[in-house]
Chains A and B, each alone.
Chain A
Amino acid sequence: MNFLRKPFGYEPILKKEDLQRTPSKKKGPRASDWKSTLSRIWKIVDEQRFLLITVFFMVVISSALSLIGPLLIGTIIDQYILKGQFQNMAPIIISLIGVYIFLSLSLFFQNYWMIGIAQSTIYKMRTGLFNHLMKLPVSFFDKRQHGELMSRATNDIETVSATLNTSFIQVFSSLLTLIGTVIVMLYLSPLLTVLTMLIIPLMFTAMRWITNRTGKLFKEQQAAVGALNGMIEETISGQAIIKAFSQEDRVIEDFREKNARLRRTGFWALTYSGYIPKVMNFLNNISFAIVAGIGGILAFNGLLSIGIIVIFTEYARQFTRPLNDLANQINTVLSAIAGAERVFSIMDETKEIDEGKLPEHTKLKGEVEFKDVHFKYEMSEEQETLKGVSFHVKPGQTVALVGETGAGKTTIMQLIARFYDIENGEILFDGKDIRNLKQATIRSQMAFVLQDPFLFEASVYENIRYGKLDATDEEIIDACKKANAHEFISKLPNGYETILASDGSEISHGQKQLLSIARALVANPVILLLDEATSSIDTVTEVKIQQALELLMKGRTSFVIAHRLNTIRHADLVFVMNNGQLVESGTQQELIQLGGFYAKMLEQTDSFRE
């Protein structure tokens, strides 16, 4: 008994509480969960209604043909073979050939079209998921592992795919066969039919018992796959660090743990779902015994002819086979639901708020104003990152943001780009509240060079073109020259056509930054945000880029973060941030004379130089 409870040392996953159905309250929403998930999938499938109907007809035809085939064979046996008349068989054989050809054709086409429907559905789900992901706010991604999200677009959707490919047709044809046989059975003997049906409630109870478990287990399993995927993605992406710290063993240990969780959930899910055909078989056998037994007694009393019993048992068999198939399909469907639910749960996340009423093509002048802005990150709980920041930047001004690390400089830039929404206060562009502007209005007139440069697995051209999709090759080369990237690009194996490795892992960090700057240069923005854009670039090169940047900043509102003070020496205004507050602002001269934070920072630079 213990073996059944903890076979091979697999701890049970489902606890008693999980399974106890606190009546109606808990069950209600869950049942409707299934339903809503299914109906959402159905809605997508249904978009191809015409094909679906065609498939349905094909199923009807193939079901009919697969009935006619044996019937004709029966006729051959009865009418010709048993009677020893072998001469006139040709016509019926020829019609059988026709039947078989059409049977195979209808089978082929129903599958052919169904695969088309299924894969289109999958495609729609996948792209729908992706499109939605791209519209989610940045804060959503802060707390998720990439690999875990990726698992939804691959492993979870695959479960749906596997189900759609086969289940639909199976369920259809099973239902058809079921209806057909029930009709014949009723015709043969209503009483025995009712007897046969006696097992149906039993079947339902058994199915309930099993699906109650598998439903949960499949979900657990998909979650475990997701966690594993997340871990794999993160470790492989961070492999260099793992190697540097010789953490392979620990990572492997960690992997084994997650893998073991998957094994445990998978084991139980598979075990329970493996019960279905067995239990169904058993119930069939029992019903068989009942029919045979009671039928025998009835025949004994002369209420039934023996012939009918014989034929009936045959049909009872036929009746249970589609039932079995249906029961098996329930499992596949359940696993698809588990996968689909995880996909839909992402698609139910609220999108980035973009309720701006002003037309998308509103041209910005570049005036930026913060009015007592308070902000805290979702992940940082109570702590406010910005504690009442106010400033006003006129169009075309260049602002340097300085301050200790963690003071909130990057945060200000992210708020200007509206990566996050503020709690209190106002952010105004040209006097208009940021919330009244469309995301597209702001972002399309802005270029942001992020603190962490990123490059796509694409050619240099395409990577730079990211800043302006219709940029010509000349524009790109020009931008690269200005950003001082031209020289190293020319040395790449295929120059500008070279496909860069994902995340630019095959070029140096400084080179990545140069390309990011070039990307911003082609964008031709109204507002320019440079977050430590040149931090890894050597100072000699930086001086060269500086001219290009200054040219770029002319006439644009620019925010620049830099720790190297020469990077910001041409700034019109300096904002000094400290601990989430704007402590000083003014021109460099003013601040030096003020003798506050900024003056002290300069002093430190000097004293350190001695």
Chain B
Amino acid sequence: MKTVYSYVKPYWLPALIAFILMLIELTVEIVQPLIIAKVIDDGIVVNDFNTIVFWGIVLVVLAIIALICGVTNSYFSSHVAYSFAYDLRNVLFTKIQAFTMATYLKFPTSGLITRLTNDVTQVQNVLFMSLRIMIRAPLASFLSLLMAFLINPKVALFLLVGAPIVIGFLYFMVKKGITYFSQVQWRLDRVNRVLQECLQAIRLVKAYMRNEYESSRFQQVADSLKLDTTKALRIMEIIMPALLLIMNLSLLAVIWFGSNEVSMGNAQVGELVAIINYAMRITGNFTMFAFIIIAFARAKSSAERMKEILIVNEDGLEVATSEREEVKKPPIEKIGTIRFEQVSFTYPASSLQVLSDISFEINPGEKLAIMGETGSGKTTLLNLIPRFYEPTAGRIFVNGRNIIDWNMGELRAMIGFVPQKSLLFTGSINENLKWGKQNALVSEVRLAAEHAQIHETVESFPNKYETRVGQKGVNLSGGQKQRLSIARALISKSRILLFDDSTSALDVKTESALWAALESENATMLVVTQKVRTAKTLDKILLLHEGKVDAYGTHDELLKTSNRYQQIVRSQEEEQVGEEG
């Protein structure tokens, strides 16, 4: 809990002020009945008009003070609560941004979303209430108890007969509550998840007419959420009646044994009556008590969940700067070289080796085609270069320096990356392109778009570069998305470009224009492609098969030496036959 609640610390001053204001308010409240007694006793009873007026004014003044304190408290406590939540969200989000891709696999998106919204809210609510009302009930109860003890400790002691049971019971309930509520939050994750999936796959759901199927799937998770929430709340709901019962029975014990004491002359009647009155006041606070306990249990379970994010350590985070930064960094050799030395890789959660013993080198300005069948590891190989994942064995050099010696930001800035799945974000086309370079000039944006063969298309849209793009680029055609994501990579004028099957949705004409334009970029390129006609125009071809290098060389060399390459060529040659036949 410490890790989460430590974010309240910066707000200790306003929190303290809020607390003091609350105390003042409470004091006024406690004093009030005394003053009213005065009005009655010294004023009304003895018909002293001046006293009535005087204490009446005091009463009004006190009321105003209480109002001012209360209202000001409102400002301070919501400031503390919301600033705390704000900071906590920022910290969590920043932390999540630093996760490695491997860590993401451990936390489902839906779970992260719930933690950042719902869980934070739970904790924030408890904090707000603590600063405003929560202390009140315990404090009032405590004061009443104290008064009872001051009056007659022996009789008052009977009020505490139930205390050990209460403490044990509460301890047990809070523990239970925490487990039940974390179960509830987990269920909420699931609800989030199913909903997210269905939104992402809405076209699929519609195409196969599966809305009812999905509805029943959603009903299942919503039902589990319902059941678990109901269970958790119901169990926690036992607290209030149970506490009340214990307290009321204690009250009866006070009456029963207290009257014994009175009859034995150990206590006075008036004392007993006063203690009974205080006891009844204590019970009056119990609804609040139970409420507090439930809220705390709930907040605690949410805090635990957030803690899971906060405690992710260096192993799960991307290191911005290499540990060896202090040591002299190896010099940069040639800008634009990439070298793989016996690189092997296995995905964190699996046991299957996806890449084994890959070695190759490309020189500045060289263009390497990476080919291979579906699932042979092409994407994985590219993903290793910007360090999305760390190789399990072997080393990778960019510009002559081992990538683990590069500053992460620097390394990625040197690389223009076009992923296999073109993903755009909500915002304008212009904003999306500027991801590659935040301060890009209009001319730069335009140039990158021209090279990516998308400029004309964009110009044909009514709003041109300001056209809104929906989430994931839904309102664009497949080829438009691909070219925009190419433009996004070109804009930074990187010397190294990685294309992961980035022309699959382009027609031949557009594609050839694209490659022609890319010639002028003069960058080192790694191009994953299925098309022999593209590979042929590049300097070398790396043919992967089940994660191993099957062949490496120029088109002509491979044509002679590699069976597999010949097979690929043949599969595309049929095309010609088909067309002509």
Asked if A564 CB lies within 8 Å of chain B CBs, one says: yes
A141-B202 contact in complex given A149-B195, A282-B66, A535-B504, C-beta closer than 8 Å: yes
A77, A271, A447: the one contacting B75 at CB < 8 Å is A271
In the complex, chain A residues 333-384 whose Cβ is within 8 Å of any chain B Cβ = 377, 379-383
A8, A81, A451: the one contacting B272 at CB < 8 Å is A81
- Shortest Cβ distance from B216 into chain A, in angstroms? 10
Asked if A36 CB lies within 8 Å of chain B CBs, one says: no
Chain A residues whose C-beta falls within 8 Å of the C-beta of B214 in the assembled complex: 130, 134
Mask of A494-512 contacts with B, CB within 8 angstroms, 1/0: 0000000111001111110
Q: How far is the CA of A506 from the CA of B568 in the complex (A)?
A: 26
The majority secondary structure among interface residues of chain A is helix
Contact yes or no, B86 A506, CB < 8 A: no
Asked if B520 CB lies within 8 Å of chain A CBs, one says: no
Task: Specify which of A146, A245, A251, A604 lies most central, judged by the most chain B CB atoms within 10 Å of its CB.
Answer: A245
Mask of B406-428 contacts with A, CB within 8 angstroms, 1/0: 00110011010101110101100
**Known contacts A234-B425, A285-B59, A383-B462, then 10 further A-B pairs from the complex at CB < 8 Å, ordered by chain A residue:** A130-B195, A130-B222, A143-B470, A153-B192, A154-B118, A278-B73, A296-B44, A306-B40, A405-B482, A446-B207
- Shortest Cβ distance from A101 into chain B, in angstroms? 7
Contact yes or no, B63 A286, CB < 8 A: yes
Q: How far is the CA of A238 from the CA of B113 in the complex (A)?
A: 14
The 30 listed contacts between A and B (C-beta, < 8 Å) are: A100-B248, A107-B240, A111-B234, A130-B198, A130-B214, A131-B215, A143-B470, A146-B199, A150-B192, A154-B118, A154-B191, A155-B118, A240-B423, A255-B89, A270-B128, A278-B66, A286-B60, A292-B59, A295-B44, A299-B44, A309-B44, A443-B209, A450-B204, A454-B204, A457-B193, A538-B371, A538-B568, A543-B571, A604-B512, A605-B579
Contact yes or no, A234 B350, CB < 8 A: no
Q: How many interface residues does chain A have, given as a range? A: 35 or more
Chain B residues whose C-beta falls within 8 Å of the C-beta of A215 in the assembled complex: none
Contact yes or no, B81 A146, CB < 8 A: no
Chain A residues whose C-beta falls within 8 Å of the C-beta of B571 in the assembled complex: 539-540, 542-543, 566
A604-B508 contact in complex given A104-B245, A259-B89, A541-B374, C-beta closer than 8 Å: yes
Asked if A488 CB lies within 8 Å of chain B CBs, one says: yes
Mask of B257-269 contacts with A, CB within 8 angstroms, 1/0: 0011011000001
A142, A161, A244, A270: the one contacting B474 at CB < 8 Å is A142
- Shortest Cβ distance from A128 into chain B, in angstroms? 10
Contact yes or no, A537 B206, CB < 8 A: no
Q: How many A-B residue pairs have CB under 8 A?
A: 522
- List the one stretch of B101-109, B139-147, B440-448 in contact with chain A: B101-109
Contact yes or no, B379 A153, CB < 8 A: no
A10, A142, A409: the one contacting B475 at CB < 8 Å is A142
Contact yes or no, B94 A100, CB < 8 A: no
Chain B residues whose C-beta falls within 8 Å of the C-beta of A529 in the assembled complex: 207
In the complex, chain A residues 583-604 whose Cβ is within 8 Å of any chain B Cβ = 588, 592, 601-602, 604
Nearest CB to that of A411 among chain B residues? Answer: B477
In the complex, chain A residues 82-116 whose Cβ is within 8 Å of any chain B Cβ = 82, 84, 86, 89, 93, 96-97, 100-101, 103-105, 107-108, 111-112, 115-116
Contact yes or no, A262 B226, CB < 8 A: no
Chain B residues whose C-beta falls within 8 Å of the C-beta of A466 in the assembled complex: 204, 208, 210, 213
- List the one stretch of A38-46, A119-127, A424-432 in contact with chain B: A119-127
- List the one stretch of B45-53, B157-165, B394-402 in contact with chain A: B45-53
Chain A residues whose C-beta falls within 8 Å of the C-beta of B269 in the assembled complex: 81-82, 84
A563-B505 contact in complex given A245-B435, A282-B66, A454-B201, C-beta closer than 8 Å: yes
Asked if A552 CB lies within 8 Å of chain B CBs, one says: no
Mask of B64-82 contacts with A, CB within 8 angstroms, 1/0: 1011001101110111011
A112-B192 contact in complex given A86-B262, A506-B105, C-beta closer than 8 Å: no
